[in-house]
Structure 1
Amino acid sequence: DSDSKGSRGSSDTGGDGGESRISFSTSSEEEEEEGGTGDGRNGTRNGKPKPPRANWREKENRRGGGVGNNRKGITGRNTGQAISRTQLLKRPLVPSPPKPAPPQLERHVVRPPPHSPEPDSLPLDGGTDHVMQRGVWLSVFRHLGQKELCVCMRVCRTWNRWCCDRRLWTSIDLSRRKSITPPMLSGIVRRQPIRLDLSWTNISEKQLTWLIHRLQGLKELLVCGCTWSAVSSLCTASFPCLSLLDLGWVQGMKTSHLRELLSPPSSDCRTVVPDPRGRLPSLSELRLCGLEIGDSALRLLLRHTPRLHRLDLSHCVQLTDHGIHILTAASTLRDSLTHLNLTGCHRLTDQSLAFFKRCPHLQLVDLRSCRLLTSEGFQKLLQDPPSDPDGKPFQCAEDQVLSRES
């Protein structure tokens, strides 16, 4: 057909010049359709009249080759590909392996060990017990440090129980650790220490919140150098037994944060009976060195820490003479204060020296590195008689360090 079509030459292309037609079929029906453009648009081809146009559906039904065959061939070649794609789409998707979850806090209940872990004696392989009883072993373990106790816990199950005795872990020091892990927190809760040092660590607020609600017998807590975002978790609980709190150099802590920490707990706080005196009613030593607090912070101490004996305000550069006047005003704190550290408070002058005579039980005042204090002011303080007739005068033990006998 293609040869006959090419032999017709210009008669098939009509007056369209050299325009070529590209087709995948040369059936008779298509030739008849193109015949109208052949012999001068007269509707005839080789002298024969053009048959009437048939419906396109009938043409498709009459086709046995040409486009139909070519389409079948193309479809036949692509059948395997189509089936394979369908099968791939019908296959169930294989889930990817789950990503490892980040380390979380312990979700199970961590129960502290009993006061006297069993058994009372060390069983041996022969079925007998060791001559040394548990009390003798514990007296030996008391001379070991934390690292040595952890090594002894790997010897046997009996030693593991004995080395977890809370009497051996009254103080736990994790200061300057690079990271605080959940196993560390679980170990702290199991041992129930009295003193816990977390200074200069990266402990988070979630970790500290989980920890403090499980250490009801904690008496000394050191969080020096931590961030306020972590230390703010102390505002969610009450500490009736806490006697020492170290908040020195806490990053971002100001007077408003100290007010939130010392104020009485709210109704949503996890405590049985809120103490109207504050969260720290039994606090006897408070360390606030290096904080950005002013004179108004000392009013909070008068109100919420009436039993304070030792106060560290070193390097609080915003304190002035007015703050010392507030601190030594008539209050229960003035009568209970025994040690006061004001090292590096550059705004204090000789006027503040006379205020220290108001505190009857004050034994030591550290005023080193206070630039505005003069030797004349110290001499005047030492020469003046005490305000209390029964009180004893101050003495200058070291340079700019005042001391007085109790």
Structure 2
Amino acid sequence: MTNATMEQRNVSRTPARTSPDISTITPQPDPAQDQNTQEPPSLTSRQKLRQTLQRIASSPTLPRRGRSASTGYRREGSLSCVSLNASQPCLSSSPLNEGSSSRPTTPSTRSQWELRGGHRIRLVGTHSPQSQSRTVPLPSDVRPTSRNAIKEDLRLDEDGAVTKETKPTKNVDFWGDMPQELKMEIFRHLTPLEIVRCAPVSKMWNAMCYDGQLWSKVDPAGFYEKIPSEILIKLIISGGPFVRDLNLRGCVQLRDKWVSKSGNIPDMCRNLVNISLEGCKIDKTSMHAFLLNNSRLEHINLSGLMNVTNSTMKIIAQSCPQLKMLNVAWCQDVNSKGLRKIIQSCAQLKDLRASEINAFQDEGLAQEIFERNTLERLVMNRTNLNNKCLQILMHGVDPEIDLLTNLPIVPPRRFRHLDLHRCSDITDEGLKSLAHNVPDLEGLQVSQCPELSDESIIEVIRTTPVLSHLQIEDLERLTNLTLEEIADFPCAEHLEHLNVSYCQRVGDPGMIQIMKNCPKLRSVEMDNTRISDLTLIEACKRVRRRGCGEELSKIGLRLVVFDCANVTWAGVKEVLSSNSKPPQIPKPKAECKPAEVVSVTQALKEGSSPVTSTYFVMPPSPPTSAMYAKEIVQLKCFYGWQMVVNEHTRRVLYGNLSGASRLDNRWAEHMMLTGEAAASGVPGVRRWRRWAQNAEQMYLNDEAGDDGDDGGTVGVVRVMHRRQDSQTWDMCALM
């Protein structure tokens, strides 16, 4: 039995599988062509698998990437199972179409069909493959485009040509498409007042401005007078459980609105950590509701509230075990009984401020504070504290005494700031109890304690090596000996603030030592003392030694010297001149570059011998930049000179050293004329006042920019020489 006979039987047994869609578009086979075509030989399973892999690997990108062509295909063209031309469909050799008996019979398509490896395939191309390339262009989404063609879409028209279709530009809503988290992050960079002003922009902005995420800290300190009560209540209620810090200091507009239509304000805030109701008109019930609903409170400020009583202290002791700071200053209804409950229940209390409270004469309260030993700041100024209670605070009751040093053996206190201001019952005996017991003390205020003297203050200063703030104002028995001891002991390295105002026995011997030995000094108040211009000159000298740089100057030392009889305008002028004088910078030792020798040879006339000239060229100097003192002195002096001093300081801070120096010189001329007028006697005072007015007018013209000539100044100088006398020359020699 021949192979042809067997294949005919197989074909007759297998039903023809034809697709209705393909049959409608596929041309009918030509019988003449079928007779001339020989049937392909039967293939093995391995050959069929290899051909299938070759069909899968056919792609227009493979030849471009340097991949070898598949076996059985020609390299001059690529194969495709689908044609982009609708008039010339393609039949693939997939299993769905293997049994199809449709063959191309038309003359136009007959040349495009070939027999490859037992399968009929069609080459993609035009009617004449020799004239044009047999390739198909890439789809538009894969084809590379330029940056300018990003918004253009590529499509094929009816003729097969590629055209560009421009898409309409999409309107981008930048703010609307932004995620809600980013919007809230942007609003967090605004101040509370700016957020309130942004609320009326739109409904969406109003909802975001009153979102609780923005109000974890409600602090209207800068605009509490401008914001109405309705907006403030809305802020607190919208924050609700998000609020951690609530500062209502001075918000008197909430007097009768703690229970609003939106709800009870104390019931809305249940996660507070810090609360300040100082100066706020709040009723006792609402205040107690705040304290009962917030068990995690750490800082409570109830200063000046008349509704605070011992019952309030009891609620705080029971509801706020994590309390660290309590301010009940000026609460007159609180006594030692209420404070004792706070000390016993709040084990983490570090800051207690109880000014103007008559509770510290109770020895039981002093013993409780001694046994707890957790306080780092204790403010009890203007109270009835006496020597006995102060000694119990430091030593306890009946401490053990060391036989060698005669000092009580007790653990050191943890006090860092101690305020005994205006405790008139304290004497040297009580203050000496601080010695050797407060090694970490940084701030001490014992102003207006008339019974204190050098003896007790010196003993405390010797045992406080890190003391940085000392206020000993209005101590009549204080002398320069205390200041000299401060300058000699280790606390001089840390001292930043010193107040010796109204200590009328303090003068230059003590203050000059302070200026020399305290390098970190920032503020000195010494009004109504015996200091003179020498102290000001020494202060300027020490401040100028703090260095210089290219940045603008900053205030490094603040001096208060008003009502000092020995401070004259000459000392004030020294301060102004020191601030406006550019610092003298030592030149660095640079390498000395010798001058370069340059020889130039030229002929003066044609035919003459050339002449050689030698020149010495100096190397260029390095460029210099403007330098300013790092720190200057801010002075508060006699009110008649203060305006000139403030203007001079402002110019120096802005870097206008020339303008500050000009102002300094003009003011010195004015003061000299005023001094001569006062020294000349009554008959010539009117004339000298007129000359002083002329000098002031010249100063105003000079400040306005009229510096064309100095005729006015020369005239004043001539007048001064014409009216010179012994007193004038003595004053000039003194300056």
- TM-score, length-scaled by structure 1: 0.53
Please point out which of 260, 267, 274 is paired with 1:142. Answer: 274
Note the 1:186-335 alignment, pairs <5 A: 186-191=341-346, 192-203=348-359, 204-213=361-370, 215-225=372-382, 226-228=384-386, 229-237=388-396, 238=411, 240-259=413-432, 261-263=433-435, 278-291=436-449, 292-329=451-488, 331-335=489-493
CA 1:149–1:358: 2 relative to 1, 3 Å: farther
After superposition, the Cα gap between the structure-2 partners of 1:239 and 1:160, relative to the gap in structure 1 and judged at 3 Å, is farther
Deviations 1:166-213 (CA, angstroms, capped at 9, x unpaired): 556522224462551524421353344322123233222324224304
2:700 maps to what in 1?
none
Distance in structure 1 (CA, Å) of the matches to 2:291 and 2:393: 36
CA contact under 8 A between 1:175 and 1:197: conserved in structure 2? no
Quick one: distance in 1 between partners of 2:390 and 2:531? 34
CA-based RMSD of the aligned residues comes to: 3.9
Letter in 1 for 2:466: R
Contact 1:142–1:168 at 8 Å: present in 2 too? no
RCO higher in structure (CA 8 A, sep ≥6): 1
C-alpha change, 1:185 and 1:255, in structure 2 (3 Å) is: same
Decide whether the 8 Å contact of 1:248 with 1:289 is kept in 2.
yes
- Of 327, 333, 345, 2:503 maps to 345
Distance 1:298 1:369 in 2: 21
Structure index of larger Rg: 2
Between 339-348 and 183-192, the greater mean CA deviation after superposition? 183-192
Q: Structure 1 residues 210, 174: CA separation in 2 closer, same or farther (over 3 Å shift)?
A: farther
Residue of structure 2 in register with 1:27 after alignment: none
| Number of equivalenced pairs | 257
1:319-378 alpha-carbon deviations (Å, 9 max, x no partner) = 11222111111x2111111111111111112232311221111111110122x233x334
User: Match of 2:374, as an amino acid?
Assistant: G
Corresponding residue SS for 1:241? coil
Deviates more, 1:290-299 or 1:336-345: 290-299
Q: Could you tell me whether the CA contact under 8 Å between 2:336 and 2:362 is conserved in 1?
A: no
Contact 2:417 2:444 in 1 (8 A): yes
Contact 2:336 2:365 in 1 (8 A): no
Q: In the aligned structure 1, how far is the partner of 2:286 from the partner of 2:333?
A: 25
CA distance in 2 between partners of 1:188 and 1:214 (Å): 10
Pairing of 1:25-64 with structure 2 (within 5 A): none
Match of 1:104 in 2: none
Tell me the equivalent position of 1:113.
Answer: none
Map of 1:126 onto structure 2? none
Q: Deviations over 1:235-277 (max 9, x none)?
A: 3345542210011222332223222x123xxxxxxxxxxxxxx
Secondary structure in 2 matching 1:334: helix
**CA positional deviation for 1:231:** 2.8
Q: Secondary structure at the match of 1:328?
A: helix
Q: 1:176 to 1:348 in 2, by over 3 A?
A: farther
Three-state SS of the structure 2 residue aligned to 1:380 is: helix
For 2:328, the equivalent position in structure 1 comes to 173
For 1:209 and 1:222, the matched residues in 2 are separated by 13
Distance (Å, rounded) in 2 between the aligned partners of 1:207 and 1:132: 40
Instruction: Tell me the TM-score normalised to structure 2 length.
Output: 0.31
Could you say what secondary structure the match of 1:386 adopts?
helix
State how far apart, in whole Å, the 1-side matches of 2:378 and 2:439 are. 15
1:310–1:149 Cα change, 3 Å: farther
Matched residue of 1:193: which SS?
coil
Which residue does the alignment assign to 1:115? none
Unaligned runs of 5+ in 2: 1-239, 245-267, 298-318, 397-410, 549-554, 565-574, 580-630, 634-735
One of 355, 359, 372 as aligned partner of 2:518: 359
